[in-house]
Structure 1
Amino acid sequence: MKKSILLVSFLAVSSFSVNAAEIKFLCYQDANECDVLEEMSSVWENSTGNTVNFEKVGYDVVRDQLENQLEAGSAPDVARVTNLGGLNQYYLDLTPYVDAGKWETNYGATLPWYRKPSGDNGIYGWQAQLTVTGPYVNVTMFEDAGVDMPEEGATWDDWADALRVVKSELGLTAGLAMDRTAHRWAGPAFSYGAKFHENGVPILVDDGFKAFAETFVGWHEEGLMPAEGWPAGGGTAYKNAAPLFLDGTVAMHMSGSWMLGNYDANITDFEWKVVPIPCGSGGCGAMPGGSGVVAFKSTKEPEVSASFIDFLSQAGRAGYFASNTSNITAHQGLQKAGIDYSGVSQRVSAGLSTFAANAGKAAESTPQAYWFQGYNKNFAIYGIVPDYITKAITGEMSLDDALAAIDADVAAKIAE
Structure 2
Amino acid sequence: MTFRLFPGSRRRGASNTSTPRRSALRGAAVLSVAALALTACGGSSEAESSGGGDGDVTLRFVWWGSDARHQKTQEMIDVFEEANPNINIEPEYGDWSGYWDKLATQTAAGDTPDIMQMDLMYIREYAENGVLLDLSDVDMSEIPENLQDAGATDEGIWGIPHGVTAYSVYANKTIFDEAGVELPDDTTWTWEDFKDKAIELDEASDAYGLTNLQATMTFELWLRQKGKQFVTEEGQLGWEPADAEEYYDYYKSLLDDGALPQASVVAEDQLPALDQTLTARNQTGMATWWSTQLSAVQAASGDDFELLRMPSMTGNSDDAELWYKTSMFFSAYSGTDHPEEAKQFIDFLINSPEAAEIAGTERGMLANQASVEHIREQLTDTEKQVADYIFDIEDELGDTVPIPPEGSSDFQNIHLRYDQEVLFGRLSPAQAAEQMHAEMEAAIQ
- TM-score by shorter chain over 0.5: yes
Unpaired stretches in structure 1, ≥5 consecutive residues: 1-16
Contact 1:140 1:272 in 2 (8 A): yes
Contact 1:94 1:306 in 2 (8 A): no
Cα distance in 2 for partners of 1:57, 1:300 equals 27
Q: In the alignment, what sits opposite 1:246?
A: 280
Contact 2:310 2:320 in 1 (8 A): yes
- 1:353: how far off? 1.1
The question of 1:88 aligning with 2:122 is answered no
Letter in 2 for 1:310: D
- 1:20: how far off? 4.4
Flag the 1:400–1:176 CA change in 2: closer, same or farther, 3 A: same
Question: Which of 83, 86, 93 lines up with 1:55 in the alignment?
Answer: 93
Unpaired stretches in structure 2, ≥5 consecutive residues: 1-53
Question: Which of 371, 376, 387 lines up with 2:405 in the alignment?
Answer: 376
Cα distance in 1 for partners of 2:243, 2:314 equals 9
Cα RMSD over matched residues?
Answer: 3.7
Question: Which of 261, 273, 276 lines up with 2:295 in the alignment?
Answer: 261
Identity %: 16
- 1:255: how far off? 0.6
Q: Give the TM-score taking structure 1 as reference length.
A: 0.75
Contact 1:180 1:239 in 2 (8 A): no
The question of 1:401 aligning with 2:427 is answered no
Cα distance in 1 for partners of 2:119, 2:428 equals 35
Range that drifts further, 382-391 or 196-205: 196-205
The structure in which a higher percent of residues are helix is: 1
Q: In the alignment, what sits opposite 1:132?
A: 166
Contact 2:321 2:397 in 1 (8 A): yes
Contact 1:257 1:352 in 2 (8 A): no
- Aligned pair count reads 377
**Where does 1:12-411 land on structure 2 (aligned, <5 Å)?**
19-21=56-58, 23-28=60-65, 33-46=69-82, 47-48=84-85, 49-58=87-96, 60-61=97-98, 65=101, 69=105, 72-73=108-109, 77=114, 78-83=116-121, 84-89=123-128, 92-95=131-134, 100-103=136-139, 105=141, 109-116=146-153, 119-121=154-156, 123-151=157-185, 152-172=187-207, 174-178=208-212, 180-191=214-225, 194-196=228-230, 201-205=236-240, 208-221=243-256, 224-226=259-261, 227=263, 231-232=267-268, 243-268=277-302, 270-281=303-314, 283-290=319-326, 291-297=328-334, 305-316=342-353, 319-320=356-357, 323-325=360-362, 327-331=364-368, 334=370, 338-363=373-398, 367=399, 370-372=400-402, 374-377=403-406, 378-411=408-441
Cα distance in 1 for partners of 2:224, 2:265 equals 21
Flag the 1:288–1:45 CA change in 2: closer, same or farther, 3 A: same
SS at match of 2:330: strand
- 1:182: how far off? 0.7
Contact 2:181 2:201 in 1 (8 A): yes
- 1:287: how far off? 4.0
- 1:394: how far off? 2.9
Contact 1:90 1:296 in 2 (8 A): no
Cα distance in 1 for partners of 2:180, 2:284 equals 16
Flag the 1:271–1:388 CA change in 2: closer, same or farther, 3 A: same
Contact 1:193 1:209 in 2 (8 A): no
Letter in 2 for 1:89: E
Flag the 1:101–1:182 CA change in 2: closer, same or farther, 3 A: same
- 1:402: how far off? 1.6
- 1:71: how far off? 6.5
- What's the CA shift string for 1:325-356, capped at 9, x where partnerless? 49444337x38x94541222333312321233
Contact 1:92 1:294 in 2 (8 A): no
Flag the 1:125–1:198 CA change in 2: closer, same or farther, 3 A: closer
Q: Give the TM-score taking structure 2 as reference length.
A: 0.70
Flag the 1:195–1:295 CA change in 2: closer, same or farther, 3 A: closer
Flag the 1:128–1:229 CA change in 2: closer, same or farther, 3 A: farther
Range that drifts further, 375-384 or 41-50: 375-384
- What's the CA shift string for 1:287-339, capped at 9, x where partnerless? 4212112234576876654443232123535654675549444337x38x945
